[in-house]
Amino acid sequence: MKEVVLITGAGGMLAQELSRKLDSKYNIRFLTRKKHHNNDYEWDIHQGTIDETAFEDVQHIIHLAGANISEKRWTDERKKELISSRVDSARLILDTLKKKNIKLKSFISASGVNVYGTETTEKIYTEDDEPGNDFLSEVVVLWEQSADQFLKENAAERVVKIRTAVVLSEKDGALKKMLPPIQYGVGSPLGSGKQYMPWIHLKDICSIYEFALENPAVSGAYNASSPQHTTNENLTKNIAKVLNKPLFMPNVPAFVLHLMFGELADALFKGSRVSSQKIQDAGFTFEYPDLQGALQDLLKKKN
């Protein structure tokens, strides 16, 4: 009999791609705000309600729920939503597990490389480094603490926190937003363009979740970022190269980004490198370790 994997964040690109990857080996269920399919189970984080039948015979939970960091300006209300969507959702799941006296084999939570702080330095961050001291760091620290509670309260045999870089996919996310200006010949780097931009191919991040699910020795935090580092400028140039498009426009000045995005702009024109050595040492192999190969795979239909 297939083991049951319950996935949150059902509407997201990662949840959909991951479920397709896992479907042949696991019984996949989703927690979602509105039921559309037989394997969907409704929950409402704000109301604190959840369909408890979703937890029958569940062995693993992959927690991907969380409001999009870059979707809206960071008003005080939005900041609360960014934290609540991650922390309160985990608490609702944990309370339900305890109520039903269920102990998971694994609780695997999304996390972010933003934990190290939004700054551009020459340092390459590892999982042993301390968190930064800006808002995004705070979000990730609270996010990971909510995951760790599953161990502390004996609701899971192990907890894995996947500190995810920018996921590259032509379907959604940063790459999809970068494509139209470049395709029309008006693409340009952001700010200085020298900020590092940790990235990972969509297929590789899905494979990391599968790897974490299937390897009981994997626990704790792991950076999910390609071993090849790149800057925002280099990424922009490589996209243009793969699409065979010129880049004429000057860099978008930092003050323009601040006018457009407010505090969120810091996440766009600052960034450091992170190491993926820990996940590789655990036995994971990247299918797309270099940027050029990743972009060629993702953009082959658009060239």
- pLDDT per position as a tens digit, 48-76: 999 999 999 999 999 999 998 888 888 99
**Cα–Cα distance between 275 and 175 in angstroms, integer?**
21
- The answer as to whether 50 is a domain residue is yes
**Cα–Cα distance between 234 and 199 in angstroms, integer?**
12
- The answer as to whether 255 is a domain residue is no
- The answer as to whether 52 is a domain residue is yes
Nearest Cα to Cα of residue 199 among 73, 283, 109, 298: 298
**Cα–Cα distance between 158 and 64 in angstroms, integer?**
17
Classify the C-alpha dihedral 138-139-144-150 as positive or negative: positive
- The answer as to whether 186 is a domain residue is yes
- The answer as to whether 280 is a domain residue is yes
**Cα–Cα distance between 249 and 237 in angstroms, integer?**
12
**169 CB-near residues (< 8 Å, 6+ apart):** 13, 17, 175, 176, 201, 202, 298
Give the strand pairing for 49-50 and 40-44.
antiparallel
- The answer as to whether 243 is a domain residue is no
Nearest Cα to Cα of residue 228 among 296, 165, 136, 270: 165
Q: Among the listed ranges 7-21, 113-127, 217-231, 262-276, which one has the minimum average pLDDT value?
A: 262-276
Whole domain around residue 173: which residue ranges?
3-231+263-299
In the DSSP assignment, the letter for residue 59 is: E
**Cα–Cα distance between 66 and 49 in angstroms, integer?**
17
Binned at pLDDT 50, 70 and 90, residue 121 comes out as confident
Total count of domains within the chain:
1
**Cα–Cα distance between 282 and 229 in angstroms, integer?**
20
How many Å from the N-terminal Cα to the C-terminal Cα in the chain?
44
pLDDT higher at 187 or 157: 157
Predicted confidence at residue 179, as pLDDT, reads 85
For residues 11 and 34, is the Cβ–Cβ distance under 8 A?
no
Phi, psi of 225 (to 5 degrees): -145, 140
**34 CB-near residues (< 8 Å, 6+ apart):** 40, 42
pTM of the model: 0.93
| Domain CATH number, residue 126 | 3.40.50.720
- The answer as to whether 157 is a domain residue is yes
- The answer as to whether 171 is a domain residue is yes
Q: pLDDT tens for residues 34-50? A: 998 899 999 999 999 99
- Sequence letter at residue 98: K
Predicted confidence at residue 267, as pLDDT, reads 61
